[in-house]
Homo-oligomer: A and B are copies of this chain.
Amino acid sequence: MKTRIRTLLAGGASGRECVVAGWVRSVRAAKEVAFVTLNDGSDMAGLQVVAGKDLANFDPVCRLGTGAALRVHGTLVESPAAGQQWELHATNVEIVGEADDAYPLQKKRHTFEYLRTIAHLRPRTNTLGAVFRLRSHLAQAVHRFFAERDFLYAHTPIITASDCEGAGELFRVTTLDAGAPPDFDQDFFGQRTGLTVSGQLEGELFALAFSDIYTFGPTFRAENSNTPRHAAEFWMIEPEMAFADLADDAELAEEFIRYLCRFSLEECADDMAFFDKHIEKGLVERIRQVAEADFVRMDYGEAIERLQRSGTAFSFPVEWGLDLQTEHERYLSEQVVGGPVFILNYPKEIKAFYMRQNNDGRTVAAMDLLVPKVGEIIGGSQREERLDRLTARMTEMGVSQEPLWWYLDSRRWGSCPHAGFGLGFERLVMYLTGMDNIRDVIPFPRTPRHAEF
């Protein structure tokens, strides 16, 4: 029965006999002894295996290539070497799977670009290993956060007919032969269907039955944009609360971000230290500041004034009614506030039809959370719960009501104020790791002309 290396090191006891299994990161062979660094993915450091000349297969062990799979029986002893508390004195080294010189991950620095071409192997590298460990722990922490607060986890549909209204950003889902006449009545669902861009509308239906709910699932954009921050397939977290307003929404978002920052620092300390050292200097301090900060609330109107008064020459215009660009968002967060800030109550013209209309007639109860370094990390709103206001706005904006009859129904019976937000999970992972390209925080990224693996 094997023990994971992380578990073994956490409960280390001198003289303990154990079995570990993993992959060779490096071998240093001398005449009498070979030092093998073994990694099983459970942590960054792995375990130093000391193989002596008395082993029957000492010679093959000395010739082991990076990437070979081993199962090792041995005794844990305190290590005389610097930088590690324990090492494993092998009594038996079973070479389970060889790796030769053609192995694409020889011990040297590889560029992230190169590693993307071997996405099937890159989880075995230090950086990608740490990224995907953090991603996993974070995802589990997301569920824990909501479970502790009694939020219901709802699986909203991936294939959807309802927001396929000719939007260019939708992938179409079909079983019709390519090139066949576009007779959607003959298609699998008897209508035109696509991949969801958000579970919010269905999430609202669930919030109006269970009060507090969240979704956490894949969403899609068929945007032909090759930027470091866009992927065609990504995971989104969308909580929704009934009997809640924009202030409640911001409170939840603040609590959520603080929770995840603290979680990363406390429960993924080794991997975070690695990112701090190798990916972004000062990362840990940046995250700690967010975790400890008071999140400021600022009206959109005030934000515009502050930007205009700043005397800074921005590339994009600053004017009431225009959306904020990343440069503005970062300025607000980094220069004006010096920390996380919610911008509240945006002009209705730049926001979606479902956002609650404020009494001023020109803004809606929308919010964005801006953080240093990246700008917007969360977008949310209180939803328009008044049927007449909602349908009027849909008419103004040319949103067809008929396909959303079920959404409107939710405002017909037992409607109530409710609010929620969306957090792109990959953006969060990028923020917490310092990784610059979304392709390097998704196991097998999907982008224009890329669907390998």
Chain A residues proximal to chain B, CB less than 8 Å: 2, 4, 6-7, 21-24, 40-42, 65, 67-69, 71, 96-100, 102-103, 119-121, 123-124, 129, 132-133, 135-136, 139-140, 143-144, 146-147, 150, 152-162, 171-182, 184, 188-193, 195, 202, 205-206, 208-212, 217-218, 220, 222, 224, 232-233, 235, 242-243, 385, 406-407, 409-410, 412-417, 442-444, 446, 448-453
Contact = CB atoms under 8 A, between A and B. Distances in A.
B156 A443 contact: yes
A260 to B, nearest CB: 15
Nearest to A6: B150
A451 B154 contact: no
Number of copies: 2
A197 to B, nearest CB: 13
A125 to B, nearest CB: 9
A442 to B, nearest CB: 7
Among A6, A98, A178, A218, max chain B CB count under 10 A is at: A178
A158 B233 contact: yes
B159 A233 contact: yes
A7 B205 CA distance: 22
A176 B173 CA distance: 11
A157 B444 contact: yes
Given A153-B139, A410-B120, A202 B453 contact: yes
22 contacts: A21-B211, A40-B211, A67-B413, A68-B414, A97-B416, A99-B414, A103-B412, A120-B406, A121-B413, A124-B209, A143-B143, A144-B144, A154-B443, A155-B235, A156-B444, A158-B233, A159-B451, A173-B173, A174-B178, A178-B182, A189-B451, A406-B453
A21 to B, nearest CB: 4
Contact of A159 (B121, B217, B232): B232
A222 B97 contact: no
A202 B123 CA distance: 11
Given A182-B177, A211-B42, A448 B161 contact: no
B69 A414 contact: yes
A99 B413 contact: yes
Contacts of A67: 413-414
A174 to B, nearest CB: 5
A339 B156 CA distance: 34
Given A172-B173, A406-B453, A97 B413 contact: yes
A173 B171 contact: yes
A191 B448 CA distance: 10
B139 A415 contact: no
A453 B162 contact: yes
Contacts of A152: 41, 132-133, 136
Among A99, A103, A120, A414, max chain B CB count under 10 A is at: A414
Contacts of A453: 157, 162, 202, 205, 406
Given A4-B212, A150-B42, A172-B174, A451 B191 contact: yes
A140 to B, nearest CB: 5
A136 B154 contact: yes
A303 to B, nearest CB: 28
Given A23-B209, A123-B209, A139-B153, 13 more contacts: A71-B243, A99-B414, A100-B413, A124-B208, A136-B153, A143-B144, A159-B195, A159-B233, A172-B175, A175-B222, A178-B192, A202-B444, A206-B443
Contacts of A71: 243
Nearest to A21: B243
Contacts of A68: 413-414
A157 B443 contact: yes
A450 to B, nearest CB: 7
A22 B211 contact: yes
B96 A416 contact: yes
Contacts of A176: 172, 178
**Lowest 9 A-B CB distances belong to which pairs?**
A178-B182, A41-B210, A123-B209, A97-B415, A120-B406, A99-B413, A190-B449, A189-B451, A21-B243
